[in-house]
Structure 1
């Protein structure tokens, strides 16, 4: 039976069960959270194998040569890369359809999803650099298009779509930047986006996958120190 704590380099992978969807993940990984959000929002049953991403088990490379998570496995099907896992879940499983039907909206959202990869490094730059001014300025500039396209509660209008869930994990971690660097988004500069954050917090999928600011801040501090505590919150710190 899979457990919540991570599987390390000397441990065997639990046997795969027929017709049971499996997610290979890491509890604090924002990329894996993209997939977890989709799974929860679409009410898909699955089991989770959490992997030590610093001292990886060898069998993870047989599933994804990069050794990265998330990875989904269902019988002989193996899907990796967070965008691909989200699209596959939306295509294959029933539940609310999260891919826009309108071509223009679909292409717009795809551009914004890929464009968000330019924003992600700014989170770490703001948290690490002594002179944060340039990183903050770039972060705001890159975020402005997301403010501009919001016309409803979510990027999907009255309900969330793929774009909402694909950018959310890093927005959830904005509290870390407030704690570490005193940075937070201003409702005056980003009125629609800051309201979107409030609305996202109320979604059941977000509630079931999120960590609080304190947990995110502590985990990232262990990452910056070179010894990430993947099982933080499951195992007393002294035992890690």
Structure 2
């Protein structure tokens, strides 16, 4: 199985302004193979967002290298990395253009990474396809193809972001706590859609979640971050043996260690 993502000695240090340096990522080594769906857990300040931002290019590593499909992209800009990556954020307002309609947003996503040039957009030719994929969401999104995205509910907008991120198969899908801002019912629906899109597209995915039930129920590998380091990296068989209490213990151990420090 080929390697999609590899981090070698990935390190991020910041100066806190008090002549002290804080280690946000501490020499992280991580390899993700094609088709893996990896969930990422960690408490506040564990380094989850910095890990994702380092992969996406919004944060520059202090040390180490990052590869996608054996291509060293460590020095690539965020824009250049967009060729390989799709990302869905925690905030439903991010990832979509609010004044553009649902159909127009999907059309943009359909041509992501492709040469566009000056030509007719041919929106009507894709309308039946957009209706079909939106109807699979189950929240009435197919009835809002001509609705400005800014007028959608949070759940509809986040579902649209997910469709856009997976429409043109990315090398790597980053889900950054993408259900955190939603109510439990809507969150559950979006996670079911997420799992469906990943399986149907055979996508490679990294998903940060704060919902431990989702960490147990979804994905085939689990990573736990603490103080910028990977303290647990569990494969599918190991993950299937976990209980909710096991996950809670990971965080209790972290709190105990912090109090001792």
Structure 1 or 2, whichever has the larger Rg, is: 2
* TM-score, length basis structure 1: 0.32
Give the number of the structure with larger relative contact order, counting CA–CA contacts within 8 Å between residues 6 or more apart. 2
Q: Which has the higher helix share?
A: 1
State the TM-score, normalized to the length of structure 2: 0.30
The structure richer in strand per residue is 2
